[in-house]
Structure 1
Amino acid sequence: MVGTKNPLLGETTCGSLLQKLQEIWDEVGESDEERDKMFLQIEQERLDVYKRKVKLAAKSRAQLLQTLSDAKPKLSTLVSTLGDKSSVGIPEKASKTIKEQLVAIAPALEQLWKQKEERLKEFSDVQSQIQKTCGEIAGNSIEQIDAHVVDESDLSLKKLDEYQVKLKELQKEKSDRLRKVLKLVSTVHDLYVVLGIDFFITITEVHPSLYGSIVVHSKSISNRTLSKLVKTVSVLNEDKKQRLHKMDTPDEERILFDHVTCNICASVDEVTVSDALALELIEHAEVEVERLDKIKSSRMKEIAFKRQVELEEIFASAHIEIDHEAAREKIFVTD
């Protein structure tokens, strides 16, 4: 290193400095012994400087090696987690220096971290939708759905595709359930219109989301809701049959209630006119039927009495004894 130029000293070199030092010692009259001590001290100080520089260089190399050592498994782990080796160029070691290897790995690591963040978001989105759809099918409220945590051990496109397939299956099931619910709600509504009773009260008892202008996709599609709707339809159909049965009266008694009796020959599903089976209408019809029954009964008794008188006259002319009082009592006995 002696004789090399130092940028800080300009043209001054170690040789010229030593020469200058010799001139000063000559002028001062420094002894050879003192001069030797000074040279040894200078050499020791220079050696100490070299040692410090070597130590610092070794420490810097160790830090670079550690950084490289940490980067390699991170790179491998990311590649394994994402499962897409072809998507990122993995640098080859070859005979590159430590810094060259780090410079080569850095872009790949950065790209893989970015891909991981994007993939995590995709997994989080699809898993959130799966959890939400499962909750809707199970009938759980939003408050009952726990926050999910993405498993970062496998973020491959293959795994993501599996989740997406599962989500599509759940969405189809949700769509099928929603169609069933809407069809059943429509059937319940039609039955309530025919029966002339309040639709709102019962349908909200099944589930509050089934009534009104609530967003279609917010309506309950759980097994419990479907079961209650099916049961409600069954009960209403039975009520409808019973009310139709109450209207089953003889032809001569239907004349005044043709607007009611026109439903008798219709099947359960054909009766759709509003209030056609309202309780008030049926009760009115029952009162009229009861009145007609009394009139019919009275007329039947009149006819029977006339026939009894005619028979008594016949028996009298034939000199046959009968119990007139007992026979007439039977005519007037009511059911």
Structure 2
Amino acid sequence: MYNHSNNSNQFSRIETTCSLLLTELKKIWSEVGEADTERDKLVYEIEQECVEVYRRKVIAANKRRSELQQSIALAESEIENIRSVLGEEPVKSEEEKVRVSLREEHGAIVPRVEEMRNKKEERRKLFVEVVGKLQKVSSEIFGSTEGVIMDGTDLSMKKLDALEKRLLELENNKSNRLKQIVDRVDGLKSICGVLGMDFKQTIHDIHPSLDDSQGLKDLTDDTIKKLSAEIQRLREVKIQRMQKLRVLASTLVELWNLMDTPMEEQRMFDNVTSKIAASESEISEPNMLSMDFINHVEEEVSRLEKLKSSKVKELVLKKRLELEEICWKTHLVLEAYTAAKYSTEAVASGVEDPMHLLEEIDFDIAMVKEEASSRKDILDKVEKWLTACDEESWLEEYNRDENRYSYGRGAHLTLKRAEKARVMVNKIPAMVEALSSKTMAWEKERGIPFFYDGVSAPDPIKD
């Protein structure tokens, strides 16, 4: 605080000292005999020197005052600027009740500036940390940090909260993307295993970071799209190979059935034939659709195809015997079913394709079996009628035998048979009528004549 009384005393002392010194100087000048003009000149010089000393001191004091004022103004400006950057409300100016010197004012504001600087630095560190995390996550997700900068002009808590909220959104986005990446990588690994492809090379070609199980993974849209596209491409390859394997499996089954392949040989390809009707998701075994495995199945099919020709010829001849047996049992004429085509000579000549012959004979066998089924009732009646005819012939011979009653111990058995024969012979007219009726009904239903060993049924039956 400025002390006016102390300064007055100092000025009084200075005036007294100067007056005493001037008096002493005048005394000396008198003793020396200094002229008045010279005295006036010397006094003027002394006055000018005093004025110059005061002027320099005033200039220096004014400069110090200006420096203090400027420093205080800069400090106040810096404080307000920091408050603005930190998003704080400006301090309202209030008239100070106690007037203080500039030096005291300056001494009081310097700690306040330092305090605000420290506060700004702490806030800046928080921003640097959050922005650094934002840039890192943004780079992982979008491949760049564009738009994530810190210019330092706004370090408010509002801006920090917004950045932290954005960081949380990006971290959630990153978590979702990482899950998508992991799911797709796992799916790609599975399908590569099924197709027998090099998973590591495939994943490396999409993005090298995906090949490192421990390192950071590229989470950009481009990588996710590439993963999805590669999975889709390999699924199409998988479906194509599945279709090819189905065809091979069906061919295997046909060849096995055709050639009565032993079950031991068939079991070697159970994993193929069991997948004929499998859906895409059900085929997940490693290398199940690899080209090596498919080639292995193709080789087996090729091997069986080579054996098929000779085996088919054997089957045609075997089925010809089956056809002959059915025709013999059902009294059908084999030539009616072009049996000549299935002869050993016809098959061996190679004029007809063995597979075509096999299909034809299977068709003929099916036709014969169907006709045999429809003829069963008639054939049963024919058999009974023929048996009755045989008994009738035997009975006629028996009646012509004059010694029929002298057969000794077996005579009673012969008599018993004769009695049964007479009963059966008496039924012949009814048998013939029933047989004719059944035959006519059969012919009417099918629109063809009924033949028995190549002869129209009514002729031998009615004769």
- Equivalent residue for 2:111? 107
Rounded to whole Å, the distance in 1 between the matches of 2:229 and 2:45 is 106
Equivalent pair of 2:317/2:342 in contact (CA under 8 Å): no
| Residue of structure 2 aligned with 1:57, choices 45, 54, 61 | 61
Rounded to whole Å, the distance in 1 between the matches of 2:338 and 2:290 is 53
Task: Classify 1:326/1:293 alpha carbon distance in 2 versus 1 (closer, same or farther; 3 Å).
Answer: closer
Rounded to whole Å, the distance in 2 between the matches of 1:319 and 1:259 is 45
| Residue of structure 2 aligned with 1:240, choices 234, 238, 249 | 238
Rounded to whole Å, the distance in 2 between the matches of 1:44 and 1:320 is 162
Matched residue SS, 2:285? coil
1:177 deviates by: 0.9
- Equivalent residue for 1:130? 134
Look up the equivalent residue of 1:273 and give its one-letter code. Answer: E
Q: Does 1:155 align with 2:159?
A: no
- Equivalent residue for 2:84? 80
- Equivalent residue for 2:30? 26
- Equivalent residue for 2:456? none
Equivalent pair of 2:191/2:234 in contact (CA under 8 Å): yes
Q: CA RMSD in A?
A: 3.9
Q: Does 1:230 align with 2:228?
A: yes
Equivalent pair of 2:82/2:117 in contact (CA under 8 Å): yes
Alignment size in residue pairs: 321
Rounded to whole Å, the distance in 2 between the matches of 1:35 and 1:224 is 102
| Residue of structure 2 aligned with 1:221, choices 219, 222, 235 | 219
Look up the equivalent residue of 1:16 and give its one-letter code. Answer: L
**Map 1:1-335 → 2, pairs under 5 A:** 4=13, 13-32=17-36, 34-85=38-89, 94=96, 95-139=99-143, 150-215=150-215, 218-245=216-243, 246-247=245-246, 248-249=249-250, 250=253, 254-264=266-276, 267-292=279-304, 295=307, 299-305=311-317, 329-330=351-352, 332=354
Rounded to whole Å, the distance in 2 between the matches of 1:201 and 1:44 is 98
Task: Classify 1:75/1:318 alpha carbon distance in 2 versus 1 (closer, same or farther; 3 Å).
Answer: closer
1:151 deviates by: 1.9
Look up the equivalent residue of 1:282 and give its one-letter code. Answer: I
1:172 deviates by: 1.5
1:159 deviates by: 0.5
Between 1:49-58 and 1:35-44, the stretch displaced more is 35-44
Rounded to whole Å, the distance in 2 between the matches of 1:51 and 1:271 is 105
Rounded to whole Å, the distance in 2 between the matches of 1:316 and 1:154 is 108
Between 1:165-174 and 1:277-286, the stretch displaced more is 277-286
Look up the equivalent residue of 1:161 and give its one-letter code. Answer: D
Rounded to whole Å, the distance in 2 between the matches of 1:285 and 1:303 is 24
Rounded to whole Å, the distance in 1 between the matches of 2:92 and 2:115 is 11
Rounded to whole Å, the distance in 2 between the matches of 1:318 and 1:171 is 85
Rounded to whole Å, the distance in 1 between the matches of 2:334 and 2:193 is 66
Equivalent pair of 1:185/1:229 in contact (CA under 8 Å): yes
Equivalent pair of 1:2/1:15 in contact (CA under 8 Å): no
Equivalent pair of 1:120/1:150 in contact (CA under 8 Å): no
1:56 deviates by: 2.4
Rounded to whole Å, the distance in 2 between the matches of 1:105 and 1:60 is 17
Equivalent pair of 2:313/2:354 in contact (CA under 8 Å): yes
Rounded to whole Å, the distance in 2 between the matches of 1:173 and 1:221 is 10
1:208 deviates by: 1.3
Task: Classify 1:29/1:300 alpha carbon distance in 2 versus 1 (closer, same or farther; 3 Å).
Answer: same
Percent identity among equivalent residues? 35
Post-superposition Cα deviations, 1:31-60, rounded to whole Å, max 9, x if no partner, equal 555444433433333233223322322232
Rounded to whole Å, the distance in 2 between the matches of 1:55 and 1:26 is 37
Higher relative contact order at CA 8 Å, sep ≥6: structure 1 or structure 2?
1
Task: Classify 1:70/1:280 alpha carbon distance in 2 versus 1 (closer, same or farther; 3 Å).
Answer: same
Equivalent pair of 1:119/1:155 in contact (CA under 8 Å): yes
Rounded to whole Å, the distance in 2 between the matches of 1:234 and 1:60 is 81
TM-score after normalising by structure 1: 0.77
Look up the equivalent residue of 2:26 and give its one-letter code. Answer: Q
Task: Classify 1:283/1:2 alpha carbon distance in 2 versus 1 (closer, same or farther; 3 Å).
Answer: closer
Matched residue SS, 1:13? helix
Gaps of 5+ in 2: 1-9, 258-265, 360-463
Look up the equivalent residue of 1:45 and give its one-letter code. Answer: E
Rounded to whole Å, the distance in 2 between the matches of 1:148 and 1:261 is 59
- Equivalent residue for 1:9? none
Rounded to whole Å, the distance in 2 between the matches of 1:331 and 1:176 is 63
1:29 deviates by: 2.9
Post-superposition Cα deviations, 1:140-164, rounded to whole Å, max 9, x if no partner, equal 5xxxx67975222211111112112
